[in-house]
Amino acid sequence: MAINLFDDTSWRSLRPLTFTRPVADLRVGILTIAEKWAKQLNTDFGFQTQDYLSAKFTAKQADLFINGAICPNEALIDVVSNLKAAQALYADDLLIALRLEEAAFSFEVDKIKGFEKVFFDEPYVQLKFPEDIFKSNDLEIKEDFKLLTKGKTSATLSSTNVFLGDNIFVEEGATAECATFNSLQGPIYLGKNSQVWEGCFIRGSFALCEGSSVKMGAKIYPQTTIGPHSRVGGEINNAVIWGYSSKGHEGYLGNSVMGQWCNIGADTNNSNLKNNYAEVKLWDYENESFRKTGLQFCGLIMADHAKCGINTMFNTGTVAGVSANVFGAGFPRNFIPDFAWGGANGFEVYTLNKMLATAKLVYNRRGMELDDIEVAMLTEVFERTKALRHF
């Protein structure tokens, strides 16, 4: 029997990253949250999500529903897998999981009020805000590393490389030459057909997912994930980059999250620490104001399809929305609305037709097609974010 991962209120607080996906499709560590649960429970998965996302992220017929903002751990897996029909698992007031009496594609909260409550009082990882992704990445890389490598034998890498420690796992087809890998402080995972080019310095914890590459001379610091089919260079520290994105040149990216189909121009840098060492604030879509993060180090949150030109300078705690396109000299504002076009000298609307034309070319370059489902989803995001574009 499959499982469904459901969105709770964190879908709203995780915007703009969740404008284009359910919460459980967020990647933290090596896998997405949905992939973690499915692999742990050895089952297929679907999503109970926002209506406009459900054409792409479909539901399965299932009796087990799990909160998509919660990452699994050993204790949670044990409790969730043993839930009986008409039982619901809570941590205080937070609904973590429930098992229906009959399989269905969705559930309504009002309909489960009579369920027997089971409580979970051990630690767990919950994603509530975008910065939780890079904050939790080190722990989740280590958990996913154990999950993905259990009972498996690593492939080998060329003798031209230097290895400090042996906490490294190499999937089939991964290659590296003349690179330095330090796994003394955390594991290093190289996914299937990934590449590490000459002269790279990589310190774990680090995950390079399937089909991705690290270009020559890159410096990769711990707590970093490069998602599938992405290419990176320069200096990266405690950042999570999702699939089909590029940071291919020199420049610094730190304490950041970068969505899918993003591109960062050459010599782009982000600040992750304020000059006065003060607490960093991030734009909050729910309250339409800046929210205190409690963090001293916080860089860039970049949603899907966002891009920036060469030599872009992102200030500490910048949020760039879906399909934001940034260029020009100077520091742009700390909140760059979805479908904004411009930079420090001002913005205008990045019209939907122009954005979709670019996205089509980007997909074609990867041998993929921008289909009607994707177009409808991006169109909905454009409409939902109109009020934020006060240009």
Q: What is the DSSP letter of 317?
A: T
- Res 110: pLDDT: 84
Give the domain extent around 98: 2-128
The answer as to whether 168 is a domain residue is: yes
Which of 82, 102, 128 corresponds to the end of one domain?
Answer: 128
pLDDT tens-digit readout, 265-277: 999 999 999 999 9
Q: Among candidates 57, 13, 60, 130, which has minimal Cα distance to 377? A: 57
* CB neighbour list of residue 107: distance below 8 Å, 6 or more residues apart: 6, 48, 65, 98, 100
123 and 141 belong to one structural domain: no
| pLDDT higher than 80, residue 245 | yes
The answer as to whether 359 is a domain residue is: no
Which amino acid does the sequence have at 98? Answer: L
Q: Among candidates 280, 270, 18, 290, which has minimal Cα distance to 130? A: 18
142 and 231 belong to one structural domain: yes
| pLDDT higher than 80, residue 1 | no
pLDDT tens-digit readout, 56-113: 999 999 999 999 999 999 999 999 999 999 999 999 999 999 999 999 999 988 888 8
| The 3-state secondary structure of 286-298, one letter per residue | CCCEEEEEEECEC
The answer as to whether 344 is a domain residue is: no
pLDDT tens-digit readout, 116-139: 999 999 999 999 999 999 999 999
Please state the domain count of the chain. Answer: 2
Contact call for residues 29 and 135 (beta carbons, < 8 A): no
User: Domain with 318 in it: what CATH number?
Assistant: 2.160.10
The answer as to whether 364 is a domain residue is: no
97 and 204 belong to one structural domain: no
Neighbour tally for 242: CB within 10 Å: 27
Full-model pTM:
0.95
The answer as to whether 9 is a domain residue is: yes
From CA 388, how far away is CA 232, in angstroms rounded?
Answer: 31
The secondary structure of 135-178 as a DSSP string is HSHHHHHHHHHHHHHTT-------TTSEEESS-EEE-TT-EE-S
